[in-house]
Amino acid sequence: MTPPKPFIHHFPVRFTHTDPAGYVFFPRYFEMLQATVEEWFGQALGIKYSSFILDRKLGTPTAKTECEFLQPCLLGEILEIAVTLEKIGRSSLTLRFDGQVAGEPRMQARSVLVVIDLGDGRPRPIDDDLRRRMEAYQAG
């Protein structure tokens, strides 16, 4: 069986992402990870993230994130962030993010997201339809 292709989101490194030296300021990577999740939902899973929140009243707060910065990203570069589903539980999922510029690894991260009901803030089981869509991006 062929492993799934990861979803890839491209980020042009803009002035707003960088510090005075022209390097991506590390908190901006976490914003990029969230943007990648939102794009993954919309482009790959076929669910507008805004609808997930506003209509379904569900959220995916991050419970844990680990990140390793391998090389700095510079103003003007294009950072590609690939997302792969490592694990899916009853109400949580673990995503791996691999960032590279022109094939050169720049950062790696792993995040645990929890699907919650925005009304009470409690974890909610991932429904079968969403689970099926996510599993297409699950690592072997």
Residue partners of 16: CB distance under 8 A and separation at least 6: 28
Residue 72 clears pLDDT 60, i.e. is over it: yes
Q: Which domain holds residue 34?
A: 7-135
Task: Answer whether residue 103 is part of any domain.
Answer: yes
Task: Answer whether residue 42 is part of any domain.
Answer: yes
Task: Answer whether residue 2 is part of any domain.
Answer: no
Q: Are 107 and 29 in contact (CB under 8 A)?
A: yes
Span 111-123, pLDDT tens digits: 999 999 999 999 9
Span 19-41, pLDDT tens digits: 999 999 999 999 999 999 999 99
Task: Answer whether residue 125 is part of any domain.
Answer: yes
Task: Answer whether residue 19 is part of any domain.
Answer: yes
Task: Answer whether residue 1 is part of any domain.
Answer: no
Give pTM, 2 decimals: 0.93
Number of structural domains found in the chain: 1
CATH of residue 13: 3.10.129.10
Task: Answer whether residue 140 is part of any domain.
Answer: no
